[in-house]
Amino acid sequence: MKPDGDGPYYFEDLQLGMEASLTKTVSIADIMAFAEISGDKNPVHIDAKYAAGSFFKERIAHGILTAGFISAVFGMKMPGPGAIYISQTLNFKGPVKIGADVTAKVRVVELVEGKKRARFECTCKVDDKVVLEGEAVLMVPARPDKG
């Protein structure tokens, strides 16, 4: 493991079981910015009065906003810059409320040498409750030749 825990990791640096994570507090500003950027202005996310009458009884973050924290781990920590998403599955297990601290964690579960692909188990938790789980496959750059 690198001393600072952050990437970039080359394919050759990865080992089964390696993990990386980050924690982000979800703010109203995050939700509103995501709604504006994505165009998803579902009132359960942006309208407190509407959300109060919903199943959740309050505004919640977009599920894909939460999934974006997994992308941040991949892009900035492990494998880090240069890694490319191939696929991602997502299972939403619970809501993320305003002010929640979301911890996104990825763990290497498979390495495919010939294709320089790595498969990761992905989770997002609020406190100890899993709110999102899935798997991702990334293309990870090989260490450049020093030749």
| CATH 3.10.129.10 matches 14-139 | yes
The 10s digit of each residue's pLDDT in 24-65 is 999 999 999 999 999 999 999 999 999 999 999 999 999 999
User: Hey, where are the domains in the chain?
Assistant: 14-139
Give me 43's structure tokens. Answer: 């009132």
Cα of 24 vs its chain's centroid, Å = 10
Residue 119: in which H helix or E strand, if any? Answer: strand 117-126
End-to-end CA distance of the chain: 25
The 10s digit of each residue's pLDDT in 67-88 is 999 999 999 999 999 999 999 9
CB 7 within 8 A of CB 138: no
Give me 96's structure tokens. Answer: 């993320």
The predicted model scores a pTM of 0.91
Q: How far is the C-alpha of 49 from the C-alpha of 38, rounded, in Å? A: 22
